[in-house]
Structures are given as C-alpha cells and as structure tokens.
C-alpha cells in the first residue's frame, strides 16, 4: 500500500472520528463518500469497507455479504478503524466543550452540505 493512500485513509478516519464524536455521524455520511471521491472506490466497495471498519457495532453478517461479493478492502478498513477511534476521542472532547446549540447547528450544516452533494453530484 502506498504512503499517500495510508495518509488519505488516516485523514478520512480522523475526520469521521472527530465528526462522530462531535455530532454523532461517521460511516455513511463521511467515510463512504470520502472513499469514493478520494480513493476511487465503487459505491459497494466503499460501503463494504466502511462496514468492516465498524464491524463490532454494526454486525458481522452485513460485512460478510460485502466480503463474499469482493466489495471490501480489509487493509483500508483497519486503518480507518484506528484513526476513527482517535478522531472520535478528540471530536467528543470538542463537542462536550461547546454549547449544545452550536453543536446542533454544526450537525445541521454538515447534513445540509452532504445532502446537497448527494443531490447535485453525478
């Protein structure tokens, strides 16, 4: 695996972890689109890899289906999982240091941006 790919995966994992800890989002909203846009994965590969990263809380059965259909990258999922944990720690610390209103508005803005990208990107 190339160093730049590892760096991109670490950044995605940290960003998703921070946002997960900050406003409770991560896999579907951050990791899947980032894997598609920055690493050129297919939608199914990104979904499978994101699920593998979150295997313990999501469940092994869904991941097994993606693995059987060869739509999962275990190495990417491992790097994302480690950096997601680190990001989640710092994101939650940040969130708890701010007012609930600011966190709620931040969440709304993130959701709006994601929705607009999904609607208007091909």
Q: How do residues 37-70 score in pLDDT, each as one tens digit?
A: 899 988 788 877 887 887 666 567 777 888 999 9
Query: How far lies 78's CA from each of 10, 35, 52, 92, 93, in Å?
Result: 10, 14, 8, 21, 23
* Structure tokens belonging to residue 7: 């760096």
- pTM beyond 0.75: the answer is no
Q: Is the C-alpha dihedral spanning 64, 69, 75, 76 positive or negative?
A: negative
Domain that holds residue 103: 3-120
Tally of structural domains, the chain: 1
Instruction: Reply yes or no on whether the pLDDT at 107 is more than 70.
Output: yes
| 87 vs 11: CA distance, rounded Å | 9
Instruction: Reply yes or no on whether the pLDDT at 111 is more than 90.
Output: no
| Residue 49 vs residue 26, higher pLDDT | 49
| 99 vs 6: CA distance, rounded Å | 34
């Amino acid at each position: 695996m190339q160093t730049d790919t590892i760096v991109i995966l670490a950044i995605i994992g940290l960003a998703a972890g921070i946002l997960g800890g900050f406003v409770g989002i991560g896999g579907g909203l951050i990791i899947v689109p980032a894997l598609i846009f920055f690493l050129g994965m297919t939608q199914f590969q990104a979904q499978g890899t994101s699920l593998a990263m979150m295997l313990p809380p999501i469940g092994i059965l869904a991941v097994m289906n993606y693995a059987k259909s060869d739509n999962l990258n275990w190495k990417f999922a491992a790097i994302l999982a480690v950096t997601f944990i680190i990001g989640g720690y710092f994101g939650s610390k940040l969130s708890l240091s701010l007012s609930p209103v600011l966190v709620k508005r931040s969440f709304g803005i993130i959701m709006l941006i994601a929705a607009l990208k999904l609607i208007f990107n091909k």
